[in-house]
Structure 1
């Protein structure tokens, strides 16, 4: 996992995982259970405060309240503070959902007594000694030392160069399946510094949709990515979730059958989520590879804020609103951003205003010329094109000239390439337009 830091758009942070093995469970179990006790204390105190004073305590109040607790003194101070920060973030998210009208949402609740909670060590909470990671605890306790393999802090970029990263955050997570701890995983976040980006070169624009993604480049290349398999996986996940929720609603909460159904639901949804994330990573990786091969310096991604807002206000149909809201557009943009950054390509969000109702060839504006969701037929110049490709080309004009209406293309586009998911090789492959 990697991302671009908000403080600097070209600073790259990357997280690597290292399995620790079950032999380290006895070492980390007391620490993870102490973090769980802090979480449960935050839940109890917040609920009592809400009952008596009709308000939720602030983050500073929670930290001051539990600073003298025994569980707090078992962890490093920043690790204990991280638990409170995670809880306060969960409460803030719950309150935001309630304010937006989602009254079915519940506040964060208690965790089981033996729950192994993820423990976070911030930059001042650990040291690095050669290939050994020293995780600090409270002042009176010996730190935990974890031996890591040679070159654990070296990250290989797509061009083959190795970059030595600086660890900035460490997390220890427990992998639990069917109520059994299978492994402990160490997540180390590295700061790779500010990545150099190209300042001159071609420009590519991407139009995101639920079933198709379109790409238009300033060198005249058009690409259409058919992602119906990705959409079908998301819809199948919704179907599985609905079936489990229907069965769970008929059971008594806390019963044996209720617990078995909850465990089976989590198991099925995790498997589907892994398949969805694999397809998303393959798609965004292909985006970055195409930009790198064609010498693209700027990749433009449509800003879908207004699209989400129109779907929430009922301007679109029920099916269209469901497709729009269930696709992880923000996650796809984040993945594409850091993969482009690793290749020296800058990613810019840009407005999609009038891009779907304007002809990319002649610049004429008419919403009625979009015959249906996948076809654009211009009434002035006679252009017949897939609607998402027309929107990507208009987004490219919008970025280059500031507007897409009343202006023609800077250069003629060639025959579009079509890409589709290949389940045998788990990647997107180029196919003919007839096969798409």
Structure 2
């Protein structure tokens, strides 16, 4: 699933997956191999241009260079252009990493000749005939027809409303494990149009942290989400990468053991990434469900722009800096945003200035009152609260009144704190007692 606000802030785009089975492999294999040859051609031309002229070719140069190639003529024109666009985007990301000081990064490289590359069909590259997708190829080539089940373009929102979407993009991906193609999956992105959002209701505020996520609602409800399992998975992933890099550095590049080590690295990291993404989706789904059940109309998330750069400049602790740099805050915010939109809840980013160093009860600011292990003890009014919950309440006050400092009274009477923690047996977050947390 995905969310986009290119044309409207409340426009919802969702992606549905349909397994095609291995029986469709002979039909899509020539097309996917042609896309792989275009990718390798872009790699070769870019490296030669950089070696001779000390520059990387532009996206327009790549498209003009390979427009007359045989592999280009096997695909639809927009599908072939999509491959060049993906390569140019990868090169741009590599150059940006190098500019930011990550000299260990390598440019996108060649793929094996038998690699089945993902093929993209844009809106002009396919037609819809009832429950059949007609995927166009180049001229004088018969299109590929894919039969889909009934109701393939219908999405049911959490309130039970069925919305019919318009397909805007189609992708065919190969599922490969241990160098064997196990399945082909069709990804169809549907445009559900502009979703109506709630105009009146409560306001919720979320304070993102590495191991704790706090939530405060204008009705007085406070929630604390313990995400130590998520943080430990991210840390374990970093440790795994370091171990594999140490092993690879002792092997000869291109040797059999070197290739086996890289294959094992990719296999292990894919499994860890899948577990991390599952936990992130469960967390953001719980956020949206709680907001929808409590009648929330606006969800406020802290604006963490330039947080990583700010942490590198003044934070002296290596552990704190590592925790901040390894959490995918922007991805969590985007996931929460489109899930909230399905519930009719608008999500907005707001500044977190002074929220972690101000008492949410009396409005007095003193950074020293944030004690060890996330404990907030106000030296003026004597408030004792979890530090992230204090920041979430201040973020809510800042959104409602424009400031959290000074004598700004709380718009609600805080109730008991609910604590949520990951349950590995059921693979979801469950409510636990404060002692269990």
TM-score class, shorter-chain normalisation, is over 0.9
Match of 2:322 in 1: 322
> Aligned ranges for residues 376-395 of structure 1 at < 5 Å?
376-395=376-395
1:312 aligns with 2:334: no
Please give the alpha-carbon distance, in whole angstroms, between the structure 1 residues aligned to 2:258 and 2:305.
39
1:8 aligns with 2:8: yes
TM-score (norm 2): 0.98
Please give the alpha-carbon distance, in whole angstroms, between the structure 1 residues aligned to 2:46 and 2:176.
28
Please, which runs of 5 or more residues in structure 1 have no aligned partner? none
Match of 2:124 in 1: 124
Please give the alpha-carbon distance, in whole angstroms, between the structure 2 residues aligned to 1:314 and 1:41.
44
Q: CA deviation at 1:4?
A: 3.0
Please give the alpha-carbon distance, in whole angstroms, between the structure 2 residues aligned to 1:295 and 1:105.
47
Please give the alpha-carbon distance, in whole angstroms, between the structure 2 residues aligned to 1:273 and 1:64.
37
> Aligned ranges for residues 174-323 of structure 1 at < 5 Å?
174-323=174-323
How many residue pairs match? The answer is 436
Please, which runs of 5 or more residues in structure 2 have no aligned partner? none
Say if 1:226 and 1:421, in contact at 8 Å, map to a contact too: yes
Please give the alpha-carbon distance, in whole angstroms, between the structure 1 residues aligned to 2:125 and 2:312.
43
Please give the alpha-carbon distance, in whole angstroms, between the structure 1 residues aligned to 2:171 and 2:294.
38
Instruction: State the SS of the aligned residue for 1:172.
Output: strand
Say which is worse superposed, 403-412 or 69-78, in terms of deviation: 403-412
Please give the alpha-carbon distance, in whole angstroms, between the structure 2 residues aligned to 1:279 and 1:98.
31
Q: Deviations over 1:105-162 (max 9, x none)?
A: 1111111111111100000000011111100000110000111111111111111121
Please give the alpha-carbon distance, in whole angstroms, between the structure 2 residues aligned to 1:276 and 1:411.
35
Instruction: State the SS of the aligned residue for 2:371.
Output: strand
Say if 1:5 and 1:13, in contact at 8 Å, map to a contact too: no
1:42 aligns with 2:48: no
TM-score (norm 1): 0.98
Match of 2:63 in 1: 63
CA RMSD of aligned residues (A): 1.0
Match of 2:151 in 1: 151
Match of 1:336 in 2: 336
Please give the alpha-carbon distance, in whole angstroms, between the structure 2 residues aligned to 1:6 and 1:219.
33
1:82 aligns with 2:82: yes
Match of 1:413 in 2: 414
Say if 1:214 and 1:223, in contact at 8 Å, map to a contact too: yes
Match of 1:425 in 2: 426
Runs of 4+ in 1 over 4 A off after TM superposition: none
Q: Residues 316, 7 of structure 1: CA spacing in aligned structure 2 closer, same or farther, 3 A cutoff? A: farther
Q: CA deviation at 1:188?
A: 0.4
Instruction: State the SS of the aligned residue for 1:190.
Output: strand
Please give the alpha-carbon distance, in whole angstroms, between the structure 2 residues aligned to 1:97 and 1:359.
39
Say if 1:156 and 1:163, in contact at 8 Å, map to a contact too: yes
Q: Deviations over 1:35-89 (max 9, x none)?
A: 1111111111111111111111111111111111111100000000000100110
> Aligned ranges for residues 83-102 of structure 1 at < 5 Å?
83-102=83-102
Q: CA deviation at 1:245?
A: 1.6
Q: CA deviation at 1:306?
A: 4.0
Please give the alpha-carbon distance, in whole angstroms, between the structure 2 residues aligned to 1:392 and 1:187.
37
Instruction: State the SS of the aligned residue for 1:158.
Output: coil
Say which is worse superposed, 29-38 or 306-315, in terms of deviation: 306-315
Instruction: State the SS of the aligned residue for 1:112.
Output: coil
